[in-house]
Amino acid sequence: MNPTGRNFSEDRFFDPDPAIRSVAGDLYHEAAGTPIVSPHGHVDPRLFSDPNATFGSPADLFIIPDHYVFRMLYSQGVALESLGVPRRDGTPVEQDHRKIWQIFADHFHLFRGTPSGAWLTHELHEVFDCQKPLNSATAQEIYDQIEARLAEPEFKPRRLFERFNIEVLCTTDPATDTLEHHQTIRQSGWNGRIVPTFRPDGVVNFDAPAWRKNIDKLSEVSKIEVVDYKSFIRALEQRRAFFKSMGATATDHAALTPATAELTPVEAEVTFQCALKGDWSCSDAARFTAHMLMEMARMSLEDGLVMQLHPGSFRNHNDVIFQKFGLDKGADIPIQTEYTRSLLPLLNKYGNDPRLTLILFTLDETSYSRELAPLAGHYPSLKLGPPWWFFDSLSGMARYFDQVMETAGLYNTAGFNDDTRAFCSIPARHDVWRRASANWLAGLVARHIIDMSDARAMMQDLTADLAKRAYRLD
Amino acid sequence: MNPTGRNFSEDRFFDPDPAIRSVAGDLYHEAAGTPIVSPHGHVDPRLFSDPNATFGSPADLFIIPDHYVFRMLYSQGVALESLGVPRRDGTPVEQDHRKIWQIFADHFHLFRGTPSGAWLTHELHEVFDCQKPLNSATAQEIYDQIEARLAEPEFKPRRLFERFNIEVLCTTDPATDTLEHHQTIRQSGWNGRIVPTFRPDGVVNFDAPAWRKNIDKLSEVSKIEVVDYKSFIRALEQRRAFFKSMGATATDHAALTPATAELTPVEAEVTFQCALKGDWSCSDAARFTAHMLMEMARMSLEDGLVMQLHPGSFRNHNDVIFQKFGLDKGADIPIQTEYTRSLLPLLNKYGNDPRLTLILFTLDETSYSRELAPLAGHYPSLKLGPPWWFFDSLSGMARYFDQVMETAGLYNTAGFNDDTRAFCSIPARHDVWRRASANWLAGLVARHIIDMSDARAMMQDLTADLAKRAYRLD
Amino acid sequence: MNPTGRNFSEDRFFDPDPAIRSVAGDLYHEAAGTPIVSPHGHVDPRLFSDPNATFGSPADLFIIPDHYVFRMLYSQGVALESLGVPRRDGTPVEQDHRKIWQIFADHFHLFRGTPSGAWLTHELHEVFDCQKPLNSATAQEIYDQIEARLAEPEFKPRRLFERFNIEVLCTTDPATDTLEHHQTIRQSGWNGRIVPTFRPDGVVNFDAPAWRKNIDKLSEVSKIEVVDYKSFIRALEQRRAFFKSMGATATDHAALTPATAELTPVEAEVTFQCALKGDWSCSDAARFTAHMLMEMARMSLEDGLVMQLHPGSFRNHNDVIFQKFGLDKGADIPIQTEYTRSLLPLLNKYGNDPRLTLILFTLDETSYSRELAPLAGHYPSLKLGPPWWFFDSLSGMARYFDQVMETAGLYNTAGFNDDTRAFCSIPARHDVWRRASANWLAGLVARHIIDMSDARAMMQDLTADLAKRAYRLD
């Protein structure tokens, strides 16, 4: 910790009321040594399979792959090309990473009061030990510092994994992935625990990009030729078993809506055959996705993999950007999301079975108090995931605690996950969560809603234990 | 009050800021002696009609009938059978109330930070004078204490009614109820004021369980044979008059949505006849409910009964639980609810008439600032009820004050009601409301938005006067 | 400032926590001298075109034209006739302005804790120097005071404009307006900057009252006979050019929903011809409005006028009041509003073009964090307007800062506008915004999320600079 850092107080993010701040600080510091449990995220396992892997330049690390960062600059008129974001058609983009860094620094004020601003500040201070604030004047000097650090052996990914005190890191991997990098990590003798997560979106959603190719790949990796719905299901079961053998404890599912509904066996077969033949008029992607969510719950009952559902993002809203730059360019926009009726078929069939754990996420905060907390406060198989994406922020967490906990109760929630592809931001993100948790609990203590022994137990749960239990990582 | 109690400070629930806490305490203590006005709830009048009625065992009192309590345990994998919740098919369930109590105590940490936790703690401390915290170790000792208390004459329901300082308690009763227990109470010479509320859901909603039987019962109790829509309406009017003669000042209506729309006389007749004949294909329950809400408003204009509308709960979401255990088992889940367009027909016909008071409730907090406050801030006949069900909680109340009051103004709201069947929780629930109210007002005083004389007047209104005026109980 | 006034502390609206209050006070006072920028509102330009214009009586100034005020009294059973609100049919209403004032004062407690209460208190204290609180007893004395003030030359509108330190005031004017009052102001030699805003709702929405007459007026003022869609578009372009020549920098658009969708040229022509002929069966007002929003964006690209969109108000909900009293009588009620899909066509066509600035408003606060902040945090052409109408309030602003800023970032918002027709409330409204802004920033400083140099820069932006830049007024 760096108590002299600008905007980087030991007390940061705590309520200024002395009664709350002091309790929050105590709770936070008691939990400070607890290793990080990261049960859901998008870090590339390649960083750890090759013992000599590096993060590239400061721009490679902080800007070019991070849609949280470049979407904010784009919103203020900065062209993505000037930030080095690659074009799909190969049109050259800015290659001078110092220029990219300078643009970023020139616009760093855009991140005032944002979670990206908090994470970036934490990374610069804590991971790279940069004492000066980032701005136009300091840009190149800070670039030099980071570049020098990144060349040091202590800044190799495996070393940082250890320094970050990560107990377990879960990646997210397509159903068709061979998990070769996970294999290499396991065989390397290095004892960092990195496990895959089974994500079948590319094969269960007909409208996924390259769905047909993905099916061929599924046949190939599963060694089960997918020629009909039955072989499709067998191939998925094979992949789940393989992921489980590689340490996976969970699956992950994205969908535009959380609709669930079972097709009859004949409907499932006909719909799947239509899609296989490319006859989109009868393939009905939405209904098939709704059906497959139920199938996935059924498989989870049987193989014990925890099921995660991340609905409600309208992907690639900006078609101009999608055509030029592809997926994940900061143009995914939430939509209103309904859970009570949507999940009815799945919950009526499987929701009372304690073998199933279904962790729900939302991008529609109105569902917290109205639908998700009441559902999680009733069904044994349901847990609520932490605030997601835009809401993985101080205010987002405060609203989550405020709107979820009274009805769901703490023990129907699943702790924190960082959901990030930015490996070096993991400590920052967990730090924000731990501080927000400590601050919430301290507010309850200060108002005599809970006492300190409750608060200590709840802090331990929020820091790591809820996540470990929910994701069956203990 | 018990200032030494763990988690039971005199200052509980107040903001820790000294300026707010001190004003909140002053406002709270000035209102502390005001009798409780309970204008809406579900306490069984039998408790008071028989002077020797008791509450049964501690498990009968705190666990077995309380879906707020057992749904939280069920969500964590505790079988309802093990909590003594009776099965519809008569399959035996746990009969040992000490075992049930032990399970409850073993899981009491699940209620940390929840409103149920706050109410239960209040009841144990204040009503039963239990000084120790409830947990696995203290469970049987506390059971003994409560059991002993319940055997004392001061713990008979009528004595507690007096000790709780309840000025008036409104029950909720089916339209077909003979109100015999209310009769007995009135004739008993005891002067506790307990009045019925007219709730016709079972006869106006075709999809109510046992609707056809309820119609027969309606014929029987009204002595008007219900053979068509006209006789149905006459029978309802007869029942309303009877309820009014028994002291009722209000009606209460549940519906999946707040849709209102008038059928033509012919449509009403045809739809009702279809239902009477059991021809569900043409009976259109939703449209008939929407129509009957308008009829009920018309009758309220005429007979002066205040109309309450509680929409937006998707009842019995968990069919497995419904089949095994029946209604009200913690599986009612809110849905998105629209008021602006839904209430348009009713408000255009009756909303300007000051003879009507329509009190609206919601399980969709998004409607507070968007629809309900603007509607209540305009129509003379509308008032907003307090935060309901999942939102009858400290944070729920804070959001209500925050999102409703600026637009609706305090005087278009209807004070508090506890809406509970758990009689012994009534003081706890009103105490939470009074503390939350005092804290809200103190925050306004501390920010110089109102002064102390405003705050004192508003506190008096929130404590009892708004409810008395809105429900015409004064 | 009047530090002795009841409820009128120098520290009003600031958090009582000393750390926050002190920083908020510093930030507020540093910004206190900044002139008011009022980029959107409904003040009548006639007040300034005639150097001898007056505000009429105290009732004319505070009550009769202000639907924020009389709707609250109406909701509590006060007849609009008794408040002097004119009837459409000419039925006489109360003419005695002292009686109207007395009713208002008798009910002034209804405004406790409301934004109207805060504005009215500010106006009485600061603009009219009334030291006593308004109530039944002081009503006539305060009437006397205000009446005397209004007779003084310093209370002429132009003098108050100067005293209020207004840098620029934008009015809102129909597309068919000749802007004669703006002409007179410009030619008068007085150097107050008052500019028009182009509002074409009356000619682009077929369902606008008197649409057909408005089209005739459009032909007349544009000198382009509107006989088909093409001439309609030319006439609109002519009007925009005229408004721009008169100093306008923006347009403003109301619609029930923010739906956008382009018609083919043939569809546009056919639909418009249907409407011209009064054939409403084929005129499809909703689709034409959606199409015209896209046309307006296209014109904004070309002529540089900033586009504002104010959707989501269900106008004239109370038909009884509408028939008797007409538009804008406090009976406009918000509805659920969807932006992500609704704006897709417009944003895909024009959202990446930095020549367009589209400022979005909402009456559905759920869209802040779910849709509007993510959209504004991505599209270069989008900015979010400040909290609007019911949400132009202390709590409304706090929710806006809380729910918008982390995702959108401050720099994708458009500062404040008062949106008022009540000229004398402008300083009060900007004061509330400035205090709410200072308080929000102070909270970030106290939690070490930003430092004081960030806060000072952000305060300057919130006070005036964001509005000036977004509306191209600098």
C209 confidence band (pLDDT: 50, 70, 90): confident
Three-state DSSP state, B159: helix
Question: Which residues of A fall within a CB distance of 8 Å from B334?
Answer: 340, 370-371, 374
Q: What is the mean pLDDT of residues C448-456?
A: 97
Asked whether the predicted pLDDT for residue B280 surpasses 90, the reply is no
Domain end marker among A155, A178, A196? A155
Query: Which residue range(s) make up the domain with B134?
Result: 56-155
Specify the pTM. 0.98
Look at residues C117, C28, C137 and name the one whose alpha carbon lies nearest to residue B451: C117
Does one domain contain both C130 and C177?
no
Residue B146 sits in the same domain as residue B278 = no
pLDDT of residue C217: 98
Q: For residues C441-467, give the mean pLDDT.
A: 98
Q: Judge: C409–A111 Cβ closer than 8 Å, yes or no.
A: yes
Check B370 against C335: CB less than 8 A apart: yes
What would the mean pLDDT of B81-89 be, rounded to a whole number? 98
Q: In this structure, are C427 and C438 located in the same domain? A: yes
Beta bridge pairs of residue C37: C168
Neighboring chain C residues of A111 at a CB cutoff of 8 Å: 409
Instruction: List, for residues C352-368, the tens digit of each pLDDT value.
Output: 999 999 999 999 999 99
* Chains B & C: contacts with CB separation below 8 Å: 132
**Chain B residues near residue C11 by CB distance under 8 angstroms:** 448
Residues of B in contact with C402 (CB under 8 A): none
Burial of B328 (0-12, 13-18, 19+ CB in 10 A): middle
Q: Kindly list the residues from chain B whose CB atom is less than 8 angstroms away from the CB atom of residue C110.
A: 409, 411
Q: For testing the chain C interface, which of A320, A333, A338, A369 should be mutated: the one with the most C CBs within 10 Å?
A: A333
Q: Tell me, what amino acid is at A192?
A: G
**Tell me, what's the pLDDT at B4?**
38
CA nearest neighbour of C422 among C99, C38, C110: C38
Tell me the shortest Cα–Cα distance from A25 to chain B, in angstroms. Answer: 16
CB A390 within 8 A of CB C407: yes
Distance from CA of B11 to the nearest CA of A (A): 7
Residue B164 and residue B120 share a domain:
no
DSSP-assigned states of every residue in A386-423:
PP-GGG-SHHHHHHHHHHHHHHH-GGGB-------S-G
Angstroms from B166 CA to nearest CA on chain A: 26
DSSP per-residue letters across C161-226: HHHTTEEEEE--EETT---HHHHHHHHTS----EE--EE-HHHH-TTSTTHHHHHHHHHHHHTS--
Q: Is B240 helix (H, G, I), strand (E, B) or coil?
A: helix
Among chain A residues, the shortest Cα distance to C446 is held by: A16
Convert the pLDDT of each residue in C216-234 to its tens digit.
999 999 999 999 999 999 9
pLDDT of C1 above 50: no
Contacts of A411 in chain B (CB under 8 A): 76, 109-110
Q: What angle do CA C290, C293, C299 make, to 5 degrees?
A: 150
Instruction: Report which of C116, C109, C138, C139 is spatially closest to residue C69, judged by C-alpha positions.
Output: C116
What is the predicted pLDDT for the residue at C51? 86
Kindly identify which residue of chain C lies nearest to residue A117, measuring between CA atoms.
C449
**Residue A168, burial from CB neighbour count under 10 angstroms (0-12, 13-18, 19+):** buried
Chain A residues within an 8 Å CB radius of B8: 448
Query: In which band, very low, low, confident or very high, does the pLDDT at B474 lie, cut at 50, 70 and 90?
Result: confident
Task: Tell me how close the Cα of C184 comes to any Cα of chain A, in angstroms.
Answer: 39
Using the predicted structure, report yes or no on whether residue B425 has a pLDDT greater than 50: yes
Residue B2 pLDDT? 36
> How far is CA B321 from each of CA A43, B104, B254, rounded to the nearest angstrom?
41, 20, 21
Report the CATH number at residue B320: 3.20.20.140
Contacts of A78 (CB under 8 A, 6+ apart): A70, A103, A107
Contact B11 A448 (CB under 8 A): yes
Lowest pLDDT segment from A23-27, B51-55, B248-252: B51-55
- The reply to whether B86 falls in a domain is yes
Give a yes or no: residue B3 inside a domain.
Answer: no
Q: Are residues B125 and B272 in the same domain?
A: no
Taken in order B445, B448, B451, B455, is the CA torsion positive or negative?
A: negative
Query: Does any domain span residue A4?
Result: no
Same domain, yes or no, for C280 and C364?
A: yes
How much is the pLDDT for C388? 98
Size of interface A-B (CB pairs under 8 A): 132
Q: Do A33 and A44 share a structural domain?
A: yes
Beta strands at C36-38 and B382-384: parallel, antiparallel or unpaired? unpaired
Residue B36, sorted as left (phi over 0), alpha (psi -120 to 50) or beta, turns out to be beta
Most C CBs within 10 Å, among B23, B342, B360, B370, to test the C interface: B370
Contact B412 C75 (CB under 8 A): yes
User: Is B70 part of a structural domain of the chain?
Assistant: yes
CB contact under 8 A, A370 and B393: no
Tens digits of residue pLDDT in C379-408: 999 999 999 999 999 999 999 999 999 999
Give the closest of C374, C379, C380 to A334, CB-based: C374
Query: What pLDDT shows up at residue A4?
Result: 38
Residue A12 lies in a domain: no
Picking from B348, B370, B449, the nearest residue to C13 by CB comes out as: B449
Any domain includes A353: yes
pLDDT in tens, B374-411: 999 999 999 999 999 999 999 999 999 999 999 999 99
User: pLDDT value at position C7?
Assistant: 59
Query: Nearest to residue C199, comparing CAs of C187, C190, C208, C189?
Result: C208
Which residues share a beta bridge with C334? Answer: C313
pLDDT in tens, C310-354: 999 999 999 999 999 999 999 999 999 999 999 999 999 999 999
Residues of chain A whose beta carbon is less than 8 angstroms from a beta carbon of chain B are 17, 19-20, 338, 340-341, 344, 347-348, 351-352, 354, 366, 369-371, 373-380, 382, 402-403, 405-407, 409-412, 444, 446-451, 454, 457-458
Closest chain B residue to C439 measured between Cα atoms? B447
CA distances from A132 to A36, A44, A125 (A): 28, 30, 9
Strands (E), A134-205: 166-170, 173-174, 194-195, 198-199
The string of pLDDT tens digits covering residues C138-196 is 999 999 999 999 999 999 999 999 999 999 999 999 999 999 999 999 999 999 999 99
User: Which chain A residues touch C347 with a CB distance below 8 Å?
Assistant: 317-318
The whole-angstrom separation of Cα C128 and Cα C130 is: 6
Nearest CB to C379 within list A109, A113, A318: A318
Query: What single letter denotes the amino acid at residue A224?
Result: I
List, for residues B170-221, the tens digit of each pLDDT value.
Answer: 999 999 999 999 999 999 999 999 999 999 999 999 999 899 999 999 999 9
Contact B334, A378 (CB under 8 A): no
The token pair at C413 is 């918002």
In this predicted structure, the answer to whether residue C471 has a pLDDT above a threshold of 70 is: yes
A292 and A350 inside one domain: yes
C473: distance to nearest CA of chain A, Å? Answer: 18
Domain boundary among B134, B155, B176: B155
Contact by Cβ (8 Å): A3, A417: no
Direct distance between the N- and C-terminal alpha carbons of chain A, in angstroms, rounded to an integer: 29
Residue C203 sits in the same domain as residue C144:
no
Residue closest to B429 by CA, chosen among B445, B417, B446: B417
Residue B369 pLDDT greater than 50, yes or no: yes
Query: Residue C109 is part of a domain; what is its CATH number?
Result: 1.10.2020.10
> Distance from A59 to chain B by nearest Cα, in Å?
41
Chain B's closest residue to A406, CA to CA, is B114
Q: Output the average pLDDT for chain C.
A: 96
pLDDT confidence of C282, banded at 50, 70, 90? Answer: confident
Which residue of A19, A406, A451 is in closest CB contact with B6?
A451
Does residue A417 belong to any structural domain of this protein?
yes
Task: Give how many domains chain B has, as a whole number.
Answer: 2
The predicted-structure confidence for A197-251, as pLDDT tens digits, reads as follows 999 999 999 999 899 999 999 999 999 999 999 999 999 999 999 999 999 999 9
* Prediction ipTM score: 0.97
Residue B242: its pLDDT value, please? Answer: 98
Q: In terms of C-beta density within 10 A (0-12 exposed, 13-18 middle, 19 or more buried), how is residue B191 classed?
A: exposed
Does one domain contain both A389 and A285? yes
At residue A7, the pLDDT reads: 59
- Give contacts of B403 with chain A, Cβ < 8 Å: none
pLDDT value at position C312? 98
Give chain A's residues under pLDDT 50: 1-5
| Residue in B closest to A403 by C-alpha | B395
β-bridge partners, A359: A308, A383
User: Which of C20, C371, C409 lies closest to A333 in CB terms?
Assistant: C371
Q: What are the chain A neighbours of B367 within 8 Å (beta carbons)?
A: none
* pLDDT tens, position by position, A143-193: 999 999 999 999 999 999 999 999 999 999 999 999 999 999 999 999 999
Question: Which chains sit next to A, with 3 or more Cβ pairs under 8 A?
Answer: B, C
Q: Where does a domain end: B137, B155, B173?
A: B155
Instruction: Give start and end residues of each alpha helix (H) in A152-264.
Output: 157-163, 180-187, 201-204, 211-222, 229-245
Task: Give the chain A residue nearest C337 (alpha carbons).
Answer: A336
pLDDT mean over B276-300? 93
Q: Does residue C163 lie in a domain region?
A: yes
Q: Which of C185, C179, C180 is nearest to C199 (CA)?
A: C179
Summary mean pLDDT of chain B: 96
Question: Is the domain of C168 the same as that of C220?
Answer: yes
Distance CA(B61)–CA(B18), nearest Å, equals 38
Task: Tell me what the mean pLDDT of segment B39-49 comes to.
Answer: 97
Per-residue confidence (pLDDT) for residue A8, from 0 to 100: 80
Q: Do A407 and B399 touch (CB under 8 A)?
A: no
Question: Do C324 and C246 share a structural domain?
Answer: yes
